[in-house]
Structure 1
Amino acid sequence: MRRFLFVLLIASVLTPAFGLNAEPMKRPELSALVIPPYKLGQPVNDKGVYTIVNTAGVDAGYIFETFPLAPIPGFSGAPINMLVTLDLETNILDVRLLDHSEPIFKSGIGEAAFHKYFEQYKGRSITTPMVVGAPFDDQGTAPGQVKLHGIARATASVRIAHESLMGAAMSVAREKMQGVRLGPPPVAVETDDVLSWAQLVEQGIVQRFQVTNGQLQEAFAGTIWAESDSQAEAALDALFIDLWIVDISPPAIARAALSQITQSELARLSELFENDELLLVIEAGRHGLVGDGFVPSGAPDLLKLSQGGFPVSVKDADITLVPHADAPAGKGMILRVDRRLGFDPTEDWKLELLAIRESRSIMPQIGEAAFSVTHKTPERFFERPEIVRPTPPWLEALITRKEDLIGLSLFLVGLIAVLALKQNRLAGLRTFTPIRLTVLAGMTGFVGWWGQGQLSIVTPLAVIRAAVDEGSFAFLLYDPFSLLVWIAAIGGFVWWGRGLFCGWLCPFGALQEFAAKIAAPLKLPQVTPSPVWDKRLRKLKYWVLASMVVVVIYDPAQVDVVSEIEPFKTAITVYFDREWWFVAYAVFWLVLSMVLFKGFCRYVCPLGAVMAIGGLLRQRDWIARRVECGSPCQLCRVKCRYGAIQKSGEILYDECFQCLDCVKIHDDDAQCVPLVLAARARDRIEAA
């Protein structure tokens, strides 16, 4: 049966998955989920990314599902799919959970907490490093980082969701928002430069841009607005635009471009808007920078700023402007640009000046022409802050749980060392039973209830699904506590087979053993299946596992449903705090163990089947045998409550739970029948 399961597992990896819906939502479905006042725009690629438009029909951001862009498997093996809405400034407008198969939420603590978790993202920029901490963890983070609160007993699932969300959002930002820098922008700093206006012009720090009336006429040539500007027609060589541009955020430049009065006012403005880059524009031609409807402190209606092909919001600083005495005369304005939007003054940026004309007709029509100039400021006037890189989720998980991991490591190392080196001596101690029960209590309390380290069949099924879908196995790193138990269990395959995990490291198995101990003084009648029925029932767990493998291949959405055959989630993960039928099911197995020793472990547990298959890696027969074992002595077989010893005395290691009862008997002169008989023979010889 184990070989059949092994073949099935291999076949599952080679079989294409069915029932996996990787197609993005259709337009009508997606349109209904767009948050007001926005509406769904046009698709921008074949991965389900759409634009969103505002009430004026202008592009305002993007909406997309995370699954097609960042399909990171969760603990069920299926990705967690979210709907994310970003504005053009990389701010998250909305995150909505669409679909997932995380068992802890599906049929554990409920989905309300998962939905509430995503509310933390609203209003945050994806350019700000974010880390997922433990629930209610208010300890500080690194400067520039934002801490998101995880969910108790589900922090690993939440970290996977965060990684998927940020991966998808960054993918959209890189593809569609090339003008957005995903690192901190440079900040103007004080330098030793002593500059004059003439030197600013000579070094290209101040740039002059001119457009003649003749060039303006050429822009409107052949249109209905060609004869709408008599001034331009009368003086073609005169200047329509005579623009001076300079970035005045660097103090050394500001001193050369502004009067002392304006410098003082600018300093106060910089304190108020510390994230703004300040640009001075002086226009000495006819353009005038703004139209008749301009409102101070608003966006100049005749100016547009962009960088990398991406529009950048610009506003009037609305302060009294008195340029330096050496600066040219003209209409001046100081513009504010928010650096947090990705604006980098040291890289080329473009300023467009619009020329507006109105046709001479009964029903005037408005036309426009754009004239653009590219500018940047030397790097020496700026300093780039060190990029705060978010801690990788797997490393954050290690850091968050370092105390628990240290405790678990010491526990596992100590237990494995004793079992590997002093197993027979341990079993022979008169206090062995109390010691074993103490270890099992530690597994239940610390590893199970506190550490949430109860292993589950969900993890092997998720591994199979990831292999089938050619996905990532990184989800295993998001729960380092359970991963450490898995490492110990898998390492135990080589030395003991399934016994290390099933006999010592399984919290629910420990609960069943406690139930059996409670039943002993009550003298409850015990159910012992006949050898024939015991053999039949032992195969049941393999059929359960085979059925679950078929489900994960052909209907993966039902994995969380079929995994409920394990009572682990109810008894360990959520502390019996679930719907009554789940609690009744878990209690049933514990009560049954009072009369049928560890019935779930022996006959039904699919994880036990996995452990038994893993036991094929076992390299030694670690339980000592004598020639008399099985013939004539049957004591160990009779005493073995797991039915792991055959009449011949052979040990069935795939059914052995490493309880060490037979090891104790084997070394006990007062219990082992061959030793007792040998002692009696010696006594007779000595007496003779």
Structure 2
Amino acid sequence: MIRAALFLFLTLCLVAPAAAEPLPREAIEAEIVAPYGLGEAVNDQGVWALLNSGGGPAGYVFETGPLAPLPGFSGQPINMLVLLDTEGRFIDVRLLSHNEPIFVSGLGEAPFRAFLEQYRGHAISEPLVVGTPYGAGGAASDNVYLDGVTKATASVRIAHESILAATLAVAREKMQGVSAGPPPRPDPAHDEALDWPRALAEGLIGRLTVTEAELDAAFAGTKWASDGAGGDPEAPFIDLYVVDLGPPALARAALAPETLAEIARFTARAPDDELYLLIEAGRHGLVSEDFVRNTAPDRLSASQDGLPLALRDADILPELGPSVPPELSDATRMVLRLDRRLGFDPTRPWELALQAVRLHGQFQPEPGETHFALSLATPERFFLRPEAPRALSPFEEALRNRAADLWALGALLVALFAALLAQSRLAGLRAFTPLRLGVLAVVIGFVGFWGQGQLSVVTLLAVLRGLKAQGAAGLEVLLYDPFGLLVWAAAIAGFFLWGRGLFCGWLCPFGALQEFAHHLGRLLRLPRWEPPPSLARALLWTGPVALAGLVATALLAPDHAETVAEIEPFKTAITLHFARPWPYLLWAGGWLAVSMVWFKGFCRSLCPLGAAMRLGGLLRLRAFIPRRAACGSPCQLCKVRCRYGAIAKTGEIRYSECFQCLDCVKIHDDPGLCVPLVLAARREGRAK
């Protein structure tokens, strides 16, 4: 009961309500500059009419916060003002308010505002992508890549998702009149006896043919007219077949049994994706030479109702079925995926466009392009319409982008859990100290500098505030950073096994930096300093006081919360790699210098996250460090050797202060170090 009460008390203290109310007319009007003017309110969600210089309709003005309140890392939405013209093109995107820690006092707002400037001139019909994590694609790709902000990938992605979600909501309601009903799903019970010839004859397989002559005609009158021309005019430049693989009957008509089984496994993992088989027997070839599998194809684009559809390669190499003509066996094949949760309806007409590119000139050739489109729709009889739409997972893209990092982190955590569960064997290794330092080096380099997995009390405050304000939806702030989420999950699981020791002793990058600083102090023969017992007890309260100060600031003066949170040197040392003004460098570097003489001084005193982590000492399910009756009376060796001061005079372990360094476990199990074992061996020798 005491443990539960403490946890509940901390939760209620840390949370604060969050709301995204539309700004008043005066605030919006101040953001509108000539030649535009602000019209009347369209609804009560912050959408206004935009007027041109003559007072006529020019588009819409709206805030993203009320329409798409995706919580940022502060627990509050990033609110931006979007000016959209009547053609669905961005006039401007401006930052109104935010509390993202990385931009408040880290990088500053300049790179954030520079990122938002990239939307100007682009249309919602363009496939906008943040960053190029898998390569830039071929020349003149239809994808529009927006440059992200280094060290702020998750915050930028949240902002991008907010902009697109709010803009598409306004576009569908005000500019397209499209009713967003629940997306259909293939009906597994519907079956037909189909083979390739019959499906093609009934129009169930889409086909697009473009000859070389038609390609030349498309470039006629341009500087690219003669580039690549001169071949057989009747030869197929594009000979494309498109098959919807969602309906089982159509999939069987096109694919071999082995690929059908692979499709079934893929569909079980991603039930909201509609897969399409593309077979291209012409010269076009579907994608450029620079294409990387499992990414958005750079020569293909799709749209429905005038709005873009997100295409992505499913990374499946299909084998064709026996009824497919043999001449297609050597054709280019690809399986694409479309997400039905984003409004895609395979039963309504949609358009697949292939981009043809010609290059003019020898040095730095200039690309020219034209498009050939195929209209597609699968008959309604193959589908069922569910009663309610399914929510889109907000971190699907983040999981895909960081898959390799997550696998590596998962392997590290599994190995670390296994080693600590066998702590007696681990502590007894002769090479235990080099092994521990090796793990800490990986934590600093991979978990900290590379993975940006340094946990912070700022994230804890944001999550708890979001939970109270939005319920389970408040956890979405973590979903944009799956790497950090996995570290949090490991730390929480470690609470019940080892208290705070797993994270504070093994997974905290700044704590690992302090430990290396202390070893450097030993190499430099600097004196060691330990505070007197009375001062040490007083210093234990500085962390809780700092945590209480952060909570009070968040409740009473939230605008200053991010500034006060700089009491943690984590952002300076780990997130920004010490690239900050000198006051921040003095603070972070000063604590590392202190650790050279006082072992992990920040962890043992002022760390507010460490103060919160002390709950782990109460939530642990077992006393994992072995003790003997003689521990503490008369033997005090473990207490004297404990660099964290986590062992009482009685020999009892204070788990709220234990960092799981295993020094006392090594002493306990060593017959040459443990005083009770040494004395017992002497008595046995005398008896013999």
TM-score range, shorter chain: 0.5 to 0.7
Taking the TM superposition and a 5 Å limit, the aligned residue runs for 1:318-337 are none
Higher relative contact order (CA 8 A, sep 6+): 1
1:161-220 deviation per Cα after TM superposition (whole angstroms, max 9, x unaligned): 11211222122223322436999xxxxxxx999xxxxxxxxxxxxxxxxxxxxxxxxxxx
Q: 2:81, 2:24 → 1: CA distance?
A: 13
Q: 2:140, 2:397 → 1: CA distance?
A: 12
Q: 1:175, 1:53 → 2: CA distance?
A: 19
Amino acid at match of 2:376: R
Amino acid at match of 2:602: F
Match of 1:399 in 2: 400
Change (3 A) 1:380 1:165: closer
2:399 is the alignment partner of 1:410: no
Match of 1:665 in 2: 667
2:47 is the alignment partner of 1:45: no
Q: Offset of 1:586 from its aligned partner?
A: 0.3
Q: Offset of 1:124 from its aligned partner?
A: 2.4
Verify the 8 A CA contact 1:2 1:542 in the aligned structure 2: no
Q: 1:139, 1:640 → 2: CA distance?
A: 56
Change (3 A) 1:610 1:534: same
Match of 1:78 in 2: 76
Amino acid at match of 1:122: R
Q: 1:412, 1:562 → 2: CA distance?
A: 32
Match of 2:464 in 1: 464
Verify the 8 A CA contact 1:452 1:573 in the aligned structure 2: yes
Change (3 A) 1:587 1:670: same
Q: Offset of 1:48 from its aligned partner?
A: 2.1
Q: 1:444, 1:487 → 2: CA distance?
A: 19
Match of 1:611 in 2: 613
Match of 2:576 among 570, 574, 577: 574
Q: 1:408, 1:380 → 2: CA distance?
A: 41
Verify the 8 A CA contact 1:134 1:400 in the aligned structure 2: no
Amino acid at match of 2:419: V
Q: 1:428, 1:51 → 2: CA distance?
A: 72
Match of 2:90 in 1: 92
Match of 1:130 in 2: 128
Match of 2:631 among 614, 629, 632: 629
Change (3 A) 1:41 1:677: same
1:139-168 deviation per Cα after TM superposition (whole angstroms, max 9, x unaligned): 579996544332211111111111211222
Verify the 8 A CA contact 1:134 1:155 in the aligned structure 2: no
Q: 1:450, 1:480 → 2: CA distance?
A: 14
Match of 2:52 among 51, 54, 61: 54
Verify the 8 A CA contact 2:502 2:660 in the aligned structure 1: yes
Taking the TM superposition and a 5 Å limit, the aligned residue runs for 1:276-675 are 342=305, 383-384=375-376, 394-420=395-421, 422-470=422-470, 472-675=474-677
Q: 2:525, 2:218 → 1: CA distance?
A: 84
Verify the 8 A CA contact 1:76 1:462 in the aligned structure 2: yes
Change (3 A) 1:557 1:614: farther
Match of 1:215 in 2: none
SS of equivalent to 2:602: helix
Change (3 A) 1:637 1:518: same
1:71-106 deviation per Cα after TM superposition (whole angstroms, max 9, x unaligned): 211111121111101112222221111211111111
2:160 is the alignment partner of 1:162: yes
SS of equivalent to 1:40: strand
Q: 2:620, 2:3 → 1: CA distance?
A: 14
Verify the 8 A CA contact 2:34 2:53 in the aligned structure 1: no
Q: 2:402, 2:306 → 1: CA distance?
A: 39
Change (3 A) 1:441 1:16: closer
Q: 1:532, 1:67 → 2: CA distance?
A: 51
Q: Offset of 1:135 from its aligned partner?
A: 6.9
SS of equivalent to 1:469: helix
Match of 2:11 in 1: 10
Unaligned 5+ runs, structure 2: 182-199, 203-207, 223-301, 308-347, 352-373, 379-389
Q: 2:563, 2:112 → 1: CA distance?
A: 18
Match of 2:298 in 1: none
TM-score (norm 2): 0.68
Q: 1:611, 1:385 → 2: CA distance?
A: 55
SS of equivalent to 1:121: coil
Quote the RMSD (CA, aligned, Å): 3.5
SS of equivalent to 1:602: coil
Verify the 8 A CA contact 1:489 1:500 in the aligned structure 2: yes
**Identical residues among aligned pairs (%):** 54
SS of equivalent to 2:622: coil
Amino acid at match of 2:476: A
Q: 2:428, 2:590 → 1: CA distance?
A: 34
Q: Report how many residues are paired.
A: 506
Change (3 A) 1:395 1:519: same
Q: Offset of 1:610 from its aligned partner?
A: 1.8
Change (3 A) 1:6 1:536: farther
Match of 1:118 in 2: 116
Verify the 8 A CA contact 1:6 1:613 in the aligned structure 2: yes
Amino acid at match of 1:156: A
Change (3 A) 1:505 1:269: closer
4+ residue runs of structure 1 moved beyond 6 angstroms? Answer: 1-4, 140-144, 180-183, 267-273, 378-382
Change (3 A) 1:379 1:4: closer
1:515-547 deviation per Cα after TM superposition (whole angstroms, max 9, x unaligned): 111111333232222223222211221122122
Match of 2:175 among 173, 177, 194: 177
Q: Offset of 1:548 from its aligned partner?
A: 1.7
Verify the 8 A CA contact 1:135 1:151 in the aligned structure 2: no
More displaced stretch, 638-647 vs 84-93 = 84-93
Amino acid at match of 2:452: Q
Match of 1:30 in 2: 28
Q: 2:117, 2:69 → 1: CA distance?
A: 21
Verify the 8 A CA contact 1:75 1:157 in the aligned structure 2: yes
Q: Offset of 1:407 from its aligned partner?
A: 1.4
Change (3 A) 1:450 1:34: same
Q: 2:178, 2:88 → 1: CA distance?
A: 8
1:89-139 deviation per Cα after TM superposition (whole angstroms, max 9, x unaligned): 222221111211111111112222111111222222224443333579525
Verify the 8 A CA contact 1:540 1:603 in the aligned structure 2: yes
Verify the 8 A CA contact 1:145 1:390 in the aligned structure 2: no
Q: 1:112, 1:685 → 2: CA distance?
A: 79
Verify the 8 A CA contact 1:12 1:549 in the aligned structure 2: yes
More displaced stretch, 174-183 vs 80-89 = 174-183
Amino acid at match of 2:683: A
Q: 1:684, 1:673 → 2: CA distance?
A: 17
TM-score (norm 1): 0.68
Amino acid at match of 2:535: W
Amino acid at match of 1:469: A
Amino acid at match of 1:501: F
Q: 2:416, 2:83 → 1: CA distance?
A: 50
Amino acid at match of 1:383: S
Q: Offset of 1:465 from its aligned partner?
A: 1.4
Match of 1:231 in 2: none
Q: Offset of 1:474 from its aligned partner?
A: 1.1
